[in-house]
Structure 1
Amino acid sequence: MTVEPPHESSAPAPASAPVRVLAQGLYETRNVLRNGEQLLVSLLLPLMVLIGVHRLDLVAGDSIPSIDVLTPGVIALAVMATGFTGQGIAAGFERQYGVLAYMSTTPLGPTGLILGKAVAVLAVIAVQLIVLGTAGIVLGWSPDPVGVLWMLPAVVVGAAAFTALGLLIAGTVRAEATLALTNVAWVVMGAAGGSVFPLSHDGLGAAMLLIPSASLGELLRAASISGELAVIPLLILAGWAILAVLAARRWFQWR
Structure 2
Amino acid sequence: MIATPAAAPASLGRRILLQGRYEALSMLRNGEQLILAIVLPLLALVGLTVTPFLDGFGASRIDVAVPGILALCAMSTAFTGQGIATGFDRRYGVLRFLSTTPLGRGGLLAGKALSVLAVLALQTAAVAAVSLPLGWRPLGAGWLPGLALLVLGAAAFTALGLLVAGTVRPEATLAITNLLWILLAALGGIMMPAERLPGAAAGIVTLLPSGALGEALREAFLSGSLNIGAALILVLWTVLAGAAAIRWFKWN
Q: How many residues align?
A: 250
- Aligned equivalent of 1:138: 133
1:23 aligns with 2:52: no
1:85 aligns with 2:80: yes
d(CA) in 2 for partners of 1:166, 1:147: 28
- Aligned equivalent of 2:29: 34
- Aligned equivalent of 2:167: 172
1:101 aligns with 2:96: yes
Note the 1:174-189 alignment, pairs <5 A: 174-189=169-184
d(CA) in 2 for partners of 1:165, 1:240: 8
Deviation at 1:207, TM superposition (A): 2.4
1:113 aligns with 2:127: no
Residue 234 of structure 1, aligned match among 214, 231, 236:
231
1:249 aligns with 2:246: yes
What is the DSSP-based 3-state SS (H/G/I as helix, E as strand, rest coil) of the residue aligned with 1:134?
helix
Deviation at 1:8, TM superposition (A): 5.7
d(CA) in 1 for partners of 2:126, 2:222: 19
Note the 1:37-76 alignment, pairs <5 A: 37-76=32-71
1:157 aligns with 2:145: no
Post-superposition Cα deviations, 1:93-114, rounded to whole Å, max 9, x if no partner, equal 0001110000000000000000
Normalised by the length of structure 2, the TM-score is 0.96
Deviation at 1:33, TM superposition (A): 1.2
* Structure 2 runs not aligned, ≥5 long: none
What is the DSSP-based 3-state SS (H/G/I as helix, E as strand, rest coil) of the residue aligned with 1:106?
coil
Identity %: 50
Please identify runs of 4+ aligned residues in structure 1 that moved more than 4 A: 6-9
Deviation at 1:63, TM superposition (A): 5.0
d(CA) in 1 for partners of 2:175, 2:246: 23
Deviation at 1:53, TM superposition (A): 2.0
* Structure 1 runs not aligned, ≥5 long: 1-5
Q: CA RMSD in A?
A: 1.5
Residue 218 of structure 1, aligned match among 215, 219, 222:
215
Normalised by the length of structure 1, the TM-score is 0.95
Post-superposition Cα deviations, 1:117-165, rounded to whole Å, max 9, x if no partner, equal 0110000000000000121111111111010111111011101000110
- Kept after mapping to 2: 8 A contact 1:61/1:69: no
- Kept after mapping to 1: 8 A contact 2:216/2:230: yes
d(CA) in 1 for partners of 2:183, 2:78: 16
- Aligned equivalent of 1:196: 191
Q: Which moved more, 1:73-82 or 1:61-70?
A: 61-70
Residue 127 of structure 1, aligned match among 122, 125, 134:
122
Whose radius of gyration is greater, 1 or 2? 1
d(CA) in 2 for partners of 1:177, 1:206: 29
- Aligned equivalent of 1:3: none
Q: Which moved more, 1:78-87 or 1:28-37?
A: 28-37
Q: Which amino acid aligns with 1:85?
A: T
What is the DSSP-based 3-state SS (H/G/I as helix, E as strand, rest coil) of the residue aligned with 1:200?
helix
Q: Which amino acid aligns with 2:202?
A: G
Post-superposition Cα deviations, 1:173-194, rounded to whole Å, max 9, x if no partner, equal 0000000100010111000000
